[in-house]
Amino acid sequence: MYVKLCGLRTAADVAVAVEAGADAVGFVFTESARRVDLDTARELVREVPPHVLAVGVFRGVGADEVRRLAGASGIGAAQLHGDYPRSAFDEVAASGVRLVRAVALKPDTDVRVGAYGEDLLLLDSPVAGSGERWDLTALDRARPEGRWLLAGGLGVRDVAEAVTLARPWGVDVSSGIESGRGVKDHGLMREFVAAARSVGG
């Protein structure tokens, strides 16, 4: 079970995520209580070892700006939320970063992993980073195959149940590992990784 811990803001957050065994860590570059500025992001990315993917989270930022921030911070992947066209994905990918396509599951959502050139598809709640759950039974109508992550209101107590129901390749969390908005709880981070991996290997 691939586990991404998102919205990290301090070097201690990164150290705990790595020690807990996270596969990927996310840094929010867009308007949010979790936003980190470029200098902070660059310092945090330096703390991420090569076997862990450093992901920059973007929404409402042009592809050229994503490229600039990706290059300046050293992230390994860009997670794009919102209505980015395929051309924007191509443009960002050309800078050498991997792509995460973040979408809410609607009737017309293209759930083919890689349809926009992405390495990972992230199925999230309609309001990303809000900690709100969404109706996982919608996956019965359109279930991705391959490298897709489930996100949206997951927490220590319910991630195992959600994994059993949705059968994702991996999971992503932010609010559920916080003690307050934008403040990571290191105990919850460790517990979340263990809980996510407690289901069927």
Ligand X SMILES: O=C(O)c1ccccc1NCC(=O)[C@H](O)[C@H](O)COP(=O)(O)O
Which CB atom, from 28 or from 93, has the smaller least distance to ligand X? 28
User: Which residues of the chain form beta strands (DSSP E)?
Assistant: 2-5, 24-28, 53-59, 77-81, 98-104, 120-124, 148-150, 170-173, 178-180, 183-184
* Rounded Cα gap, residues 127 and 104, in angstroms: 8
Which CB atom, from 188 or from 201, has the smaller least distance to ligand X? 188
* Rounded Cα gap, residues 178 and 187, in angstroms: 9
CB of 96 to ligand X, least distance (A): 22
Largest CA distance in the chain: 43
Which positions lie near ligand X, rule CB under 6 A?
6-7, 26, 28, 30, 32, 34, 57, 59, 81, 124-125, 128-131, 151-154, 172-176
Indicate which residues carry an active-site annotation.
Answer: 6, 124
Which CB atom, from 47 or from 125, has the smaller least distance to ligand X? 125
Residue of this chain nearest to ligand X (CB atom): 129
Which tokens hold the place of 91?
Answer: 């443009």
CB of 131 to ligand X, least distance (A): 4
CB of 127 to ligand X, least distance (A): 8
- Using CA atoms in the order 69, 84, 131, 189, what is the torsion angle rounded to 10 degrees? -40
CB of 55 to ligand X, least distance (A): 8
Which CB atom, from 93 or from 159, has the smaller least distance to ligand X? 159
Q: How many CB atoms lie within 10 A of CB 49?
A: 8
CA-based nearest residue to 19, from 190, 187, 196, 194: 190
